[in-house]
Each structure stands twice: as structure tokens, then as C-alpha cells.
């Protein structure tokens, strides 16, 4: 039997990762908090993974809704869920975590590793675990049926950082046999500030609300939904993100350079790079605004980016505008319920103190 690995989350990314790892010889325990996501997989006896036009059946070691059972023997715990569930999973896992286990959030969005570790500590867990986060999901993929998933593209490089930063290499060593694409980030501040989902998700959904609600046929999210004007506003938000990163002396790629590094795509600007990215061609837009592109990426991505900007004294008016509009649209205060400074435990810190916290883990 291969290396025991727990994958938490049976959605698009979780099923893709579980099937891929099983195909590489790992003993994969796939866990989801909601049994309906596992029912068809149980009946099928595994996952049908399609990649490069070829479909292969992959058998898993265990399918369960019990987080402690899934992680009991696992050396690696790969959390592949929307970031608003990270707190729930941390609470469920706290009693079963043991020394030297590695938890990787795929992706962490912004502040994910910090939130996860803070939660397990509040639950009384003192195990010497390593918590890491990736800058983005390594796959462009979709669960195409109850027991099937398709990988459309695999990113060439994905940054990964651990909390604290001196544990990053241990995580990379454990992942390397399966995912050599993961590369070291300076720390989790770098992965948090490199959150491309904060750019590519909330703004295009907001600017296509009418189309999402009125067009039953749907549309291609990136190719049809990100027009030159939409791309121009996304670019402005990216400029704010880069300014925040500069204030923390954290090197991050622009959205344009990230696309060039992650995919085989070319173009003079953000719009052309997206339009020429084959991995985006078939990805469809959500059929409702009740989608994680807003409900996850505003409170868990844009809010902490904005908060880091405010702490550093960097103006982020476009980020703040998207947060305000999304909050009004849903009649919710996404800033208060999301990863604000208070909820991340960095309220009252200076820019220098926040930077040191991400580097050393010491407040």
C-alpha cells in the first residue's frame, strides 16, 4: 500500500486531487463533511478521472464523512474545500491531529493557514503540526458527474508557504513525489498576497450579474465574461494588491505574469492572456450569484487583502468598492464575518508587526 494521504473535500479540486494521487500509488482517504458528495463515488467504487482525453477508473482507500477517521494514519492532509469551511474542518480535525502531520490548504486564499492553526489551538489541540497553504489550486478542473472529474489543465508552478516560514521545506519535501510544481514562497504572507482568485472571481461575477440571472444557457466564465472593460477593472484591483505587497516588502507576481508562468498562454495584456488560455476555454459561469466566487472570495480573499492594505496605509478603493457592493447585494456584512483583522488576530498590529508574525509565528 502506498503513502496514506487524506484529502478533505469531494468537490471539483478534491476529487481531481484524490483521483490523481490514487493513480500515483497513494492510499487515499477522501473525506467530505456532507455525505451527498460521496454517495455516487461509493456506488461507483471510485472516481473516473479524465485527463488529456483519457478516462481511467481510480480506486480509493476510504470514503468517509468522519474527519478524524480520514486523518488518523495520514502523513499528509490536503484540504481542498472552499475557504469558508476551513474553520469547520479545523474544529473537526483538532482532536485527532498528531505531531508531525502536515496540513496543506489548497488553496489557503488569504490568511488560511493562520485561521486554521488558530482554530485548532482554540479547540485545545497542542500537536506539533505544520500548516501550509498554496497560492491557488494546482488544477483547472470540474467534477463532471456524480463519480467523474476532468482535469483541464495543471499549473506549471504554484507557490506554497508554511506557518511559520521555517517549516516550508518540510512540506515541499513531502509533496514533491506527487507535485513537483509546488515552489517555496517566502512565507504565508506571500501566498496570501498572491491570491489570484480575489482578482478573477468577485469582480467579473458582479459585472455579469444580469447575464447570470437572465441567461439560462449560461456563458463561458473567462472567455465571454471577462471582456476588455472587465479585464481593465480587474487590472486596477491587481494594481492595488501589488501596492499592498510592496508595502510589506513581499514580492508577488502581477496577474499577467502569473498567467504566463502558470499556463501556456500569450498576450500583451490581461485580457489577451485570458482569452488565449486554453485551460479556461470550457469553464462555465455559475448559474446563480449564490456562488463561491462571491460568497467565498469576498470575505475570505478580498476582505483580508483590504485589511492588510488598511494596516499598511495603502489605499484600496476598488477592493473596498467590490466588498461594499457584494455586501449590499447579499444583505450581509462580508467584512465583519470574513477574515478581517479581528478574526485573524492581527487587529492593532502595525505593518512591521504583521510582517514579523507571518515570518516567525510570534505575535
DSSP per-residue letters across 281-297: TTPBPPSSS-SHHHHTT
* Complete DSSP assignment for 62-76: EEES-HHHHHTT-SE
Catalytic residue flag (residue 297):
yes
Q: Beta-carbon neighbour count of residue 145 at 10 Å?
A: 12
The H or E element spanning position 234 is helix 228-247
Q: Given 201, 276, 310, 320, which residue is catalytic?
A: 201
Which helix or strand (DSSP H or E) is residue 169 part of? helix 168-175
CA pair distance 169, 185, nearest whole angstrom:
10
Contact 137, 106 (CB under 8 A): yes
- Sheet of 130-134, strand order: 62-64, 27-31, 4-8, 76-79, 102-105, 130-134, 158-163, 182-184
Rounded distance between C-alpha atoms, residue 220 and residue 130, angstroms: 38
Q: Is 201 a catalytic residue?
A: yes
Name the nearest CA neighbour of 309 among 239, 234, 256, 207: 239
Per-residue cell: 50: 479524465
Output the CA–CA distances (angstroms, integers) from residue 168 to 74, 77, 279, in the order listed. Answer: 19, 15, 29
**Candidate list 297, 320, 331, 333, residue with the active-site label:** 297
35: number of Cβ within 10 Å: 12
| CA-wise closest residue to 169 among 184, 189, 187 | 184
CA distance 343 to 337: 8
Beta bridge pairs of residue 55: 50
Q: Is the peptide bond before 164 cis (omega within 30 degrees of 0)?
A: yes
Whether the CA torsion 288, 294, 295, 297 is positive or negative: it is positive
Active site residue ranges: 201, 297
Amino acid at each position: 500500500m502506498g503513502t496514506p494521504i487524506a484529502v478533505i473535500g469531494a468537490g471539483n479540486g478534491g476529487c481531481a486531487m484524490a483521483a490523481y494521487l490514487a493513480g500515483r500509488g497513494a492510499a487515499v482517504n477522501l473525506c467530505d463533511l456532507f455525505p451527498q458528495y460521496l454517495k455516487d463515488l461509493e456506488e461507483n467504487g471510485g472516481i473516473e478521472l479524465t485527463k488529456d482525453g483519457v478516462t481511467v477508473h481510480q480506486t480509493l482507500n476510504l470514503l468517509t464523512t468522519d474527519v478524524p477517521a480520514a486523518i488518523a494514519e495520514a502523513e499528509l492532509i490536503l484540504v481542498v474545500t472552499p475557504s469558508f469551511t476551513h474553520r469547520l474542518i479545523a474544529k473537526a480535525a483538532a482532536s485527532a491531529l498528531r505531531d508531525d502531520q502536515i496540513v496543506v490548504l489548497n488553496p489557503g486564499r488569504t490568511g488560511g493557514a493562520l485561521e486554521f492553526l488558530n482554530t485548532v489551538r482554540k479547540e485545545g489541540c497542542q500537536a506539533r503540526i505544520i500548516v501550509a497553504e498554496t497560492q491557488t489550486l494546482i488544477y483547472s478542473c470540474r467534477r463532471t458527474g456524480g463519480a467523474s472529474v476532468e482535469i483541464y489543465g495543471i499549473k506549471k508552478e504554484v507557490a506554497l508557504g508554511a506557518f511559520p516560514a521555517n517549516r516550508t521545506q518540510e512540506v515541499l519535501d513531502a509533496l514533491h513525489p506527487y507535485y513537483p510544481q509546488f515552489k517555496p514562497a517566502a512565507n504565508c504572507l506571500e501566498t496570501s498576497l498572491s491570491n489570484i482568485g480575489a482578482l478573477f472571481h468577485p469582480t467579473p461575477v458582479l459585472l455579469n450579474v444580469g447575464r447570470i440571472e437572465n441567461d439560462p444557457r449560461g456563458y463561458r466564465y473567462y472567455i465571454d465574461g471577462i471582456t476588455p472593460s472587465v479585464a481593465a477593472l480587474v487590472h486596477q484591483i491587481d494594481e492595488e494588491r501589488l501596492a499592498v505587497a510592496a508595502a510589506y516588502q513581499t514580492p508577488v507576481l502581477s496577474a499577467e505574469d502569473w498567467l504566463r508562468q502558470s499556463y501556456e498562454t500569450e498576450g500583451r495584456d490581461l485580457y489577451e492572456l485570458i482569452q488565449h488560455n486554453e485551460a479556461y476555454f470550457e469553464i462555465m459561469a455559475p448559474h446563480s450569484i449564490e456562488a463561491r466566487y462571491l460568497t467565498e472570495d469576498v470575505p475570505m480573499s478580498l476582505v483580508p487583502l483590504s485589511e492588510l492594505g488598511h494596516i499598511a496605509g495603502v489605499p484600496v478603493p476598488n477592493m473596498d468598492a467590490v466588498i461594499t457592493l457584494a455586501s449590499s447585494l447579499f444583505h450581509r456584512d462580508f467584512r465583519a464575518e470574513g477574515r478581517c483583522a479581528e478574526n485573524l488576530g492581527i487587529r492593532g498590529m502595525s505593518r512591521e508587526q504583521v510582517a514579523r508574525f507571518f515570518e516567525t509565528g510570534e505575535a
